[in-house]
Chain A
Amino acid sequence: MAELWSRYESLILFDPDLGEEARTELIGRVKEYISNASGRILKTDHWGLRDLAFAMKGRSKAYYLLVEFAGPAPVSTELARRLNLLDTVLKFQTIKLEDRLDPSELPGPGEEPGVPAAEEKAAEVAAAARAGDVGEAEKTEE
């Protein structure tokens, strides 16, 4: 029987002082941690800069990124191990959403994430803007 996967969601809090370029590079690396551990990214949601409810590592804000992914069991521990080594990550939390998934029934790589995601996101933002949902559109800066 094929190896079963789980679906996870990680909320990652990045250093708010990172420049956009550095942050984009870092987020790219985080996505690689997942794919290198045989995981597959299903969705990313940029919450952006937010006030923290309490200061953390001397910061009162953080850049929040929500990543949904699926993979075999070690993927979440591997991601945690890697994130713990980054001092530009203030905090993260991974939650298992579902387990015992058949990976062949999940959307394939490149079907949702990867390069086309930016276009998709842009389309989403445009659609939201059309719907008059400007607040949402502003929030999902890419």
Chain B
Amino acid sequence: MAHPYRRRGRRKVCRFCVDPSLPLNYKHPEVLRQFLSERAKIVPRRISGNCSYHQRLLTREIKRARNVALLPFTEMP
């Protein structure tokens, strides 16, 4: 059923551009967590589809959240 030229199941839009009300801040770890892999690594933007501007802010905020234990540095799947 997959079309040969269609990328598989990945959205390529930046979610923060699409929804400017989506908080991008270390104080909202529940949002940031959606951009961490099972091992709690930051999902690269080629996968998440984030634009470079928001990906830069995202990595900064994830690092801030990790500093104060709102998000893990690593996790066992």
Q: Which residues of A contact B (CB under 8 A)?
A: 11, 13, 52-54, 56, 62, 64, 66, 91-93, 95
Pairwise interchain contact B69-A62, C-beta atoms closer than 8 A: yes
Contact stretch, chosen from B2-10, B15-23, B46-54, B60-68: B60-68
Task: Tell whether B70 is near chain A: CB-to-CB under 8 Å.
Answer: yes
24 interchain pairs (CB within 8 A)? A11-B27, A11-B68, A13-B68, A52-B69, A53-B29, A53-B66, A53-B69, A53-B70, A53-B71, A53-B72, A54-B69, A54-B73, A56-B69, A62-B69, A64-B68, A66-B27, A91-B67, A91-B68, A91-B69, A92-B68, A93-B64, A93-B67, A93-B68, A95-B64
Instruction: Please measure, in the bound complex, the distance between the C-alpha atom of A62 and the C-alpha atom of B68, giving whole angstroms.
Output: 10
Give every chain A residue within 8 A of B67 (Cβ-Cβ): 91, 93
Closest 8 CB pairs of A and B: A52-B69, A53-B72, A53-B69, A93-B68, A93-B67, A11-B68, A53-B71, A54-B72
Q: Which residues of B contact A (CB under 8 A)?
A: 27, 29, 64, 66-73
Q: How far is the CB of B34 from chain A (nearest CB, A)?
A: 15
Pairwise interchain contact B69-A13, C-beta atoms closer than 8 A: yes
Give every chain A residue within 8 A of B71 (Cβ-Cβ): 53
Q: How far is the CB of B67 from chain A (nearest CB, A)?
A: 5
Give every chain A residue within 8 A of B70 (Cβ-Cβ): 53
Q: How far is the CB of B27 from chain A (nearest CB, A)?
A: 8
Q: How far is the CB of A130 from chain B (nearest CB, A)?
A: 24
Nearest B residue to A61 via CB reads B69
Give every chain A residue within 8 A of B68 (Cβ-Cβ): 11, 13, 64, 91-93
Q: How far is the CB of B56 from chain A (nearest CB, A)?
A: 16
Instruction: Please measure, in the bound complex, the distance between the C-alpha atom of A13 and the C-alpha atom of B70, giving whole angstroms.
Output: 11
Give every chain B residue within 8 A of A64 (Cβ-Cβ): 68
Q: How far is the CB of A31 from chain B (nearest CB, A)?
A: 19
Instruction: Please measure, in the bound complex, the distance between the C-alpha atom of A6 and the C-alpha atom of B27, giving whole angstroms.
Output: 20
Residue from B27, B29, B64, B68 with most neighbouring chain A CB atoms (10 Å): B68
